Structure 1
Amino acid sequence: MTFTRTMKRMAVRTIAALAAVACTMSLAACGADEAGKIRIGIKFDQPGLGFKKSGTYVGFDVDVAKYIAKKLGYSEDEIVWKEAPSKQREAMLQNGDVDMILATYSITDERKKAVSFAGPYFVAGQDLLVRKDDQSINGPQDLNGKRLCSVTGSTSAATVKEKFASEVQLMEQPGYAECATALFSGIVDAVTTDDIILAGLASASRGKLRVVGKPFTQEYYGVGIKKGDTKLATKINNAIVDMIQDGSWEKAVSDNTSGTNYTPDVRYNPPTPNEGEDA
């Protein structure tokens, strides 16, 4: 009996060890909830783009992600949504935590050193969000001496540091909800990021905030993927083209910016997705 119990304990330990090795080799295979599914990183705190609401996920990035996933052969219930904060996006792709990221992820040469992109699927412009009754800020030229908020790790914060560092006091927060709160309470005078993000925040403010409407950059939103995956980039680009051609792209923009009078810059939108493919 003792020998039998010992053998059983050894067998259990052996199985556990093998399972641990399998988990190390393929993390996704270990989670029953993620097996056979696609893991997509989005923002959880950006109204109109990527927003977690009562256990569901809504926004333009979410709609684009769903369309791409469907073209790749995944239904909506086969998508695992992962929160992708700005400063963690590269690491999430490199570590294999997600298969792709659609999180207002601007394509830059610096980021392409660590990850690859498909797309772009949208071109935004950096702008300013202010209190509705504040008429002192009507463009970036009015930022001298003002207190400005943006999100840590975003290209918006980097742009402000580069172009206006000697003129503004920059506060960086982990998310745009925190920036909007600081603006409401008077801690800062303006929030800066891409215009479509600001349009979502303005919509959520019920008329208390307004977008200045003087964009001063072009931000090309891409789908972040593992570096060098040209086959996946091609499939994603083809899906974006289909979304634009069948009218789903325009509908997604309209649905997610309703009531804000926001219109994408027609000089750049809809964009031509050609990132990440074989030359």
Structure 2
Amino acid sequence: MKQLFRRVGLIVSALAVLLVLTACGSGKALSDQNVVTRAKQTNTITWGVKADTKLFGLMDVKDGRIKGFEIDLAKALTKQILGSKGKASFVQVTSQTRISLLNNGNIDAIMATMTITPEREKQVDFSRSYFDAGQSLLVKKGSGIKSVKDLNKKGATVLGVVGSTSVQNMAKAAPKAKVLQLSDYAQAMTALKSGQGQALTTDNGILAGMAVENPGYELVGGSFTKEPYGIAINKGQGEFKGDINKALTQVEKSGEYNRLLKKWFGSVAGFNYKEMER
């Protein structure tokens, strides 16, 4: 009799687990669930964004909110996809953590100054480009450095961020220079100020924001690569990718894209936002 009760108890427990899994979305991992279906159910899209990158995504210590071009664009896309009452939720990511957070289902999409590359396309799918950046250099004013060619020599050290394409590009553009990789842009800027390197390299839009915060530093050399930013999503989310591309087109046609571009980049010295308009 005891064995019978024990067996019945096991069956009941198994059924309870099955019901819980069904209630949670047929037992599928978050990353495997249809993002559009879930977003419509919750009326929310969760975006992975930077919080240390001025102009694109920077934490405002006064109110604890992340603000920037990518934040405003994500909100605009969310409303296009879900309607005027749709909500955009934000999770802070870095160049090292963004893909793993996406693959694990912690976020629905990445909009975090992420360049579209063939290598990354093996891991994730991308929307079409929403910002056409180019790699440049940030140096101390009066440094004498005018272009990436001035750094292609022994003894030169260039600072970059782990997980960014700029580090790989620098190895090609100035193979004789040493590249020192830091965990984020704040640490890279601190390293530049302390003399650990002669230049900091990444995309021009990011460097423009750093130059605004640090008047003693300037962009030099123009752009020596093309770095189109795309919105990354998990593979197998074709409906979501289509909705994002459609929403981006609508935001561009309405003029909202150019308004956001002017809002965040219109007054940045050395950055011609007019060239970026759509």
TM-score when scaled to structure 2? 0.81
Corresponding residue for residue 192 of structure 1: 201
Q: Count matched residues.
A: 256
> Does structure 1 residue 217 correspond to structure 2 residue 225?
yes
> Does structure 1 residue 178 correspond to structure 2 residue 187?
yes
Provide, for residues 99-158 of structure 1, a one-character-per-residue CA deviation record: whole Å limited to 9, x for no partner: 111000111111111100012111001000011x23411111111332211110100011
User: What is the deviation of 1:66?
Assistant: 1.0
Unaligned regions of 5+ residues in structure 1, if any?
Answer: 1-10, 272-279
15-24 or 232-241: bigger deviation: 15-24
18-27 or 141-150: bigger deviation: 18-27
User: What is the deviation of 1:174?
Assistant: 1.0
> Does structure 1 residue 247 correspond to structure 2 residue 255?
yes
Letter in 2 for 1:252: L
Corresponding residue for residue 42 of structure 1: 49
User: What is the deviation of 1:15?
Assistant: 6.7
78-87 or 214-223: bigger deviation: 78-87
Corresponding residue for residue 264 of structure 2: 256
Contact residue 243 and residue 249 of structure 1 kept, 8 A: yes
**Counterpart-to-counterpart distance in 1, 2:17 and 2:45:** 26
2:59 aligned to 43, 46, 52, which one? 52
**Cα gap change, 1:154 to 1:38, in 2 (>3 Å):** same
> Does structure 1 residue 153 correspond to structure 2 residue 160?
no
**Cα gap change, 1:248 to 1:180, in 2 (>3 Å):** same
**Cα gap change, 1:77 to 1:183, in 2 (>3 Å):** farther
**Counterpart-to-counterpart distance in 2, 1:16 and 1:231:** 30
User: What is the deviation of 1:90?
Assistant: 2.0
CA RMSD in angstroms comes to 2.9
User: What is the deviation of 1:36?
Assistant: 4.2
What secondary structure is seen at the aligned counterpart in 1 of 2:225?
A: coil
Contact residue 157 and residue 180 of structure 2 kept, 8 A: yes
**Cα gap change, 1:265 to 1:254, in 2 (>3 Å):** closer
User: What is the deviation of 1:19?
Assistant: 5.1
Contact residue 82 and residue 98 of structure 1 kept, 8 A: yes
**Counterpart-to-counterpart distance in 2, 1:149 and 1:18:** 53
**Counterpart-to-counterpart distance in 1, 2:138 and 2:85:** 33
**Counterpart-to-counterpart distance in 1, 2:182 and 2:85:** 32
**Counterpart-to-counterpart distance in 1, 2:178 and 2:21:** 49
Contact residue 66 and residue 76 of structure 1 kept, 8 A: no
- Identical aligned residues as a percent: 32
User: What is the deviation of 1:18?
Assistant: 6.3
Corresponding residue for residue 238 of structure 2: 230
Letter in 1 for 2:58: F
Corresponding residue for residue 6 of structure 2: none
**Cα gap change, 1:208 to 1:258, in 2 (>3 Å):** farther
Letter in 2 for 1:104: T
**Counterpart-to-counterpart distance in 1, 2:150 and 2:207:** 18
Corresponding residue for residue 89 of structure 2: 80
**Counterpart-to-counterpart distance in 2, 1:178 and 1:20:** 43
Unaligned regions of 5+ residues in structure 2, if any?
Answer: 1-11, 34-40
